[in-house]
Chains A and B, each alone.
Chain A
Amino acid sequence: EPEVTQTPSHQVTQMGQEVILRCVPISNHLYFYWYRQILGQKVEFLVSFYNNEISEKSEIFDDQFSVERPDGSNFTLKIRSTKLEDSAMYFCASSGDRASYEQYFGPGTRLTVT
């Protein structure tokens, strides 16, 4: 069964460093998303991406964040200068059809900023 994969599973970085989180969405999907979940809190929408551009973004997704689809399979989230409060689980999701509303999530990357 096709699935969304994410690497790395755990990333530890120092405050102020740049990190890139990687995702491989389900191959025939067209819509891609990033979410984050701070420990003990709800899953929060960050950004959606379609046709090589951002479709929607939340207020969390400020200038420190960027997304890219560098090739036909990867979808990345970059945080330019990490802060302690960026520590969270980051989930990538994809969906085949926006109208289907159904998103399939990856296993997540746990980002720890020290």
Chain B
Amino acid sequence: TQLLEQSPQFLSIQEGENLTVYCNSSSVFSSLQWYRQEPGEGPVLLVTVVTGGEVKKLKRLTFQFGDARKDSSLHITAAQPGDTGLYLCAGWRDYKLSFGAGTTVTVRA
């Protein structure tokens, strides 16, 4: 069983602060996806990272894939209330996605 651990489980910050969410595993993944999920809705794909050491930027969001392809991080710069939500990482291995439990981010105005 591939276990993806996300930390922290909950994160509450003030608008304008930076935050980082971590996704760690003992397994190697072919790729890693980050999704955002609103209550009662399906996960929405934010980004896919494929190459070890890869860094991708999406406006104020920066995603990094670890060199060994076992871990990833999501960094949000100058967080805004609109960034509030559940962030999920999911690793692709053996032709299926395995999800982490998610990090609930709350950005206070």
State which size class the interface on B falls in.
Answer: 20 to 34
B44 near A: Cβ within 8 Å? yes
Cross-chain contact B43 with A98 (CB below 8 angstroms):
no
Q: Kindly supply a per-residue 1/0 record for chain A positions 86-114, scoring 1 wherever the CB is within 8 Å of any chain B CB and 0 otherwise.
A: 00010101000010111111111010000
Residues on A with beta carbons closer than 8 Å to the beta carbon of B65: none
The answer to whether A107 touches B41, judged by C-beta atoms less than 8 angstroms apart, is yes
- Of B31, B40, B44, which one neighbours A101 at CB under 8 angstroms? B31
Most chain A CB neighbours (cut-off 10 Å) among B43, B88, B102: B43
B19 at interface (Cβ–Cβ under 8 A)? Answer: no
> With the chains together, A110 CA to B96 CA distance in Å?
22
Which residues in B have some Cβ–Cβ distance to A below 8 Å? 30-31, 33, 35, 40-45, 48, 50, 88, 90, 92, 94-102
What 17 new A-B contacts, CB under 8 Å, besides A93-B42, A103-B33? A35-B97, A41-B101, A42-B88, A43-B90, A56-B94, A58-B96, A91-B42, A98-B95, A101-B30, A102-B33, A103-B97, A105-B42, A105-B43, A107-B41, A107-B42, A108-B40, A110-B40
> Lowest 9 CB-CB distances: which A-B pairs, in order?
A105-B42, A43-B99, A101-B31, A101-B92, A42-B101, A45-B96, A105-B43, A42-B99, A91-B42
